[in-house]
A and B are shown apart, each in its own frame.
Chain A
Amino acid sequence: MSAQLDVATFIASSIGSLTLGTNCFAGPVKKVSTGSGIPHTAVFVIGTGGLQKEAFIDGGSKGGLSKPTVQVLVRSDKNDLSGGLTLAESIMAVVDMGPPTASYVESRSNTSEPIYIGTDETGHHEWSINLTLTK
């Protein structure tokens, strides 16, 4: 599985209010849509590539230590600053130093707390958690 799906699955299984595919998604941000079932409060995990793989000297078998990066974007309910912050902090608590599966050695946030990035055009507050994983 891709890192973004691994992390999204891990977040959904760790946070009681989140369900993968319902309000927690692997992929880019989706606009709120009642028709498509995209809620206001939602989490999106987007793969951002990562660092170059550290190749092993292994006879050309292409083994290596990977460091993929993902961005976790947390969107609050409309004008719900405190509710969104609480959700972002609870996600930070599970993903920072919490590898999503046994295939990963480590998951580290690049910051100590979620980064507040403001509101979107419809009044949803947003936070970003940027993770570097080791696999």
Chain B
Amino acid sequence: MANEILGRTATLSVIADATRGGSGTPAQVAKLTDLSISANADEIDITTFDNAGYRDYIKGSVDLTCDFSFIFEDTTSAGQKDIIASWNNHNAANSASAGGFLEFIIVLATDMKISGFMMVTSLTINTGMDDVQRVDCSARLVDVNTATEWDFIG
């Protein structure tokens, strides 16, 4: 049995409420075509004269961003609407108020999940001549729940 994990088995779901595990209903973002999570850490330069010419560093704060793309649907697609509403700071489709923040859960595999809150910081709508309309998004992930099972940070 192969141990590799097929990319398309992942999911991104969002809940438009401000409370972790709140009352909103998770809505899977439909027709997702790309999903990437980027984990970054600041580098703090602590070089002194004692380092004899070699710079020295410690790690500072870490942060997570997420980039994803989906094929836009002009129908009831709560997850897509929530993403667009997040950028607009408008009310979302599956809860009373998004306020720009969405609770999210990304399932990479059965025992590899990451959850927390996201705000959409960039949203690009592509309307190619011979292609369907596509939306590219970037989001900042905050208050990430490190207690969830995720092999990279758990």
Contacts and interface: CB of A to CB of B under 8 A. Distances in A.
A59 B132 contact: no
A50 to B, nearest CB: 15
Contacts of A54: 33
Interface string A55-73: 1111110010100000000
Interface residues of A, number: 13
Contacts of A56: 8, 30-33, 71
Interface in A89-118: 105-106, 108
A134 interface: yes
B136 to A, nearest CB: 14
A55 B130 contact: no
A106 B130 contact: yes
Interface in A28-67: 54-60, 63, 65
Contacts of B28: 58-59
Best-buried of B6, B8, B10, B33 by chain A (most CB within 10 Å):
B8
Contacts, number: 41
A134 B12 CA distance: 25
A55 B132 contact: no
Contacts of B35: 57
A50 B28 CA distance: 29
Contact of A58 (B32, B34, B130, B132): B32
B10 A57 contact: yes
Interface in B24-47: 28, 30-35
Given A56-B33, A57-B35, A134 B9 contact: no
B7 interface: yes
Nearest to B69: A57
A70 B71 CA distance: 24
Contacts of A60: 6, 8-9
21 contacts: A54-B33, A56-B8, A56-B33, A57-B7, A57-B8, A57-B9, A57-B10, A57-B11, A57-B12, A57-B32, A57-B33, A58-B30, A58-B32, A59-B10, A60-B6, A60-B9, A63-B31, A65-B31, A105-B132, A106-B130, A108-B130
Interface of B: 6-12, 28, 30-35, 71, 107, 130, 132
Given A56-B32, A57-B10, A58-B32, 11 more contacts: A57-B9, A57-B32, A58-B28, A58-B31, A59-B107, A60-B6, A60-B9, A65-B31, A65-B132, A106-B132, A108-B130
